[in-house]
Structure 1
Amino acid sequence: MKVVILNGSPKGQNSISLQTALYFQKLHPTHDFQVLDVAQKIKFYEKKFDTIKDTLESADLLLFVYPVYTFLAPAQLHRFIELMKENKVSLENAFVSQITTSKHFYDSTAHAYIEENCYDFMGKYIPGFSGDMDDLVTKQGQVQAKDYFDKMLFDIEHNIYTLKPVLKQEVPAYRSILEAKEKTIAKNVVMISDYQEGDDSLKAMMDDFVATSKANIRVVYLKDLRIDGGCLGCLQCAISAKCVYKDKFDAFIQEEIGHCDAIVYAFTIKNHFANSYMKLFDDRQFCNGHRSVHKGKSVTYIVSGDLDSEKNLQTVIQARSEVGGLYLCGIVSDQHHPSQSILNVCQTLDYVLEKPIERPTMFYGVGGTKIFRDLVYVMQGFMQADHKFYKENGIYDFPQQNKLQLYKMIFLGNLLQIPAVQKKMKGQLSSYILAPYKKVLEEEEK
């Protein structure tokens, strides 16, 4: 496979982001990797774009690799994308994805920007990888990077990619057309649905999804579930981890949902979300407090209605998945390509059930977790159940406690203020920063 890496870092080969792509090259030496320093050499490509067009269009996989700059990508990469459009580059024969490094501050908007541009080039987009600056030098970061590339190879092999949104249109009712698959995956999957009589399109998508997945899926209809009332905000569960209601909903959540391997939510859009009973279900899950007790599971959404125009709902789905530590397999919508979406998402769900994988969270997950972390720590005397969970799961990751790193940075900062040291280190700082990443690549090569 020919893999073309568009290095969007102004630092060129000294880019931390690039090291993750080079790590993939070490892992898969049989593939043909080619790195193009498009940001650093942007002035050259403005004059000589013809030297690169054939390379781009002949790629099997095109990877945008860049650091996040001010909510998006560096200006040099923006300019290169302009050049691609001015020169009418077509990626219809290529799969396209992206790799970023940042501190997760609005990496989500940067990824959305590249994804939208990939659709303009007709590329087959595969969701990208967003790592922290230091992830590659940690074991967990290396595992997550490997999981991302392995899953991408699976997607390419099975022709799975994110389908390009279409212009707003009347949503047609979906009819079941898919054939049932043999159930070969012994995992516990629960589908939660707010289906009501008349939601024929939603029901058809649910039926096809249940039939298409190789796992047995148990469907729970909210209309059949006893829920005596909405969350009262009494915070009794923050102390006892039990809800004041006697409808045993907390037991259902903690036992039935807590012990499953994957969750599927199915609903029809109403009033820019689902019906109020689905929100009732959501709110009552606060019996778990601020504890991400479902972390590590996978989640899928089946949505009937005009999802493309519901930008806030799309954000809610992504954010709640990230904050909860859930692997989002995808969203099935009847707005367009429903049968293909069901096939794609079911293959992803089956893959994740058989081979659990991790992906680093982006801005929504990182930011939300930090807010809850600080809240629970300050209120630990009251939020006792949350505090115990956060301590046991290492969520109290305050940077102030990393004294060694703190003192190293103070020492380095003071050292670099010395004129003689500045002169000696001129042009070498990037090499110093990259040293631990290079060590990872060397170890993988061995």
Structure 2
Amino acid sequence: MTGTWDDAAARAALRRLFEAGVRAADPLAVLAPHLPEPPTAGRVVVVGVGKAAAKMALAVGRAWPEVPLTGLVVTTHGADLPPPRSGETNSIPPSHRRIPVRFASHPVPDAHGAAAAAEILGAVRGLSPRDLVLFLVSGGGSSLSTLPAPGLTLDDLVAVNRELLRCGAPIDAMNCIRKHLSAFSGGRLAAAAHPARVVTLAISDVPGDDPAVIASGPTVADPTTFTEARMLAAHYRMRLPEAAIRHLEAAAEETPKPGDPRLANTELRMIATPMLALRAMAAEAEAMGLVPLVLGDALEGEARELGRVLGGVALSAATHGLPVGRGSVLLSGGETTVTIDGPAGEGGRGTECLLGLALALNEAPGIWALCCDTDGIDGRSEAAGAIAAPDSLARARALGRDPRADLAGHDSTGLFRALGDLVVTGPTLTNVNDVRAVLIG
């Protein structure tokens, strides 16, 4: 479908593209082909952390109906499987829910997550080489499995996490510091499971799909060091608790490094990634008669500035036909950052990027955009993200809002809520980071 788009058709197309990206990362569709052969002798212990943990565990249970399974997974509050209800075909029968699910807080850690992480460590200790540990990991796992290293408290790590979110550091820097304050991350889970075989099935939510960064790499060798963690804390001027500073300075027990014999019997299989989601969105765009252009799966930086850049590219496409012309859609993914530099409203990475984009477009006709998080939750809001239309700024001003002030005050979600333009899906039970689609009609 090309030519002139009306508002309803453009919005429906953007929602369809987003749904295609989420489907491409659905554990029930993508996990089973990546499972190893279950051991003929020995136990199977299934453990996991992340926003997709409950659905990943369900996929394992369905794929291995005759295999005895033990273990547990931890996910976010609200990210449970649909409860069984009479007459509902999308509910999950109790017989299919074979692996216990724990719930914890994200993005700020809580005691439930720490307890679940300790329980997971206990579940994998004392195993033999005949046993298999199947570790299911997805985005959000760092906060959900926050277990303090010896000498630290959960309150210390909660304060660290808040500071990491405040300072605008990229995810790899955040995870370097987390791993060096943790008893669970940075390969420590795999070390605890030694000498059992450990197979990790991962849904990536990070640029470049680095397994050492996904949920801070609990089963992956950690190439970073205490020295790097201290340098990053200084570079981003982080105000860390005194106990955390002393722990980083003492550097008493490094994370397992590449070549550590405790990690020799580990394997990682990537089952869903941001690029796979973008390719699915591109295929869906072609099915609608649009010309897709994938700009990349690792577009990072300040959310509002990335929005400004995407707006400039869209204007070039609409005005000059470069890099693509009308009847096209620009697709991208990657985790932006929002640096809080004062009082903040109801923000979110996706909506802040989208508002920056809308301001750059300045009501240019024939351009619509969507920015959403594939986990269904953008920041602290109940929405996955939002859609901006050519008339969004005018409608906002008619409601008495100042879009530039909302952007400066990190109240982008509040603006799009006032417009009725939030995209609300609820937790999707998967997570391959943020996706963005700009439709040039």
Whose helix fraction is larger, Structure 1's or Structure 2's? Answer: 1
Shared fold per TM-score greater than 0.5: no
TM-score, with length taken from structure 2: 0.26
Larger C-alpha radius of gyration, 1 or 2? 1
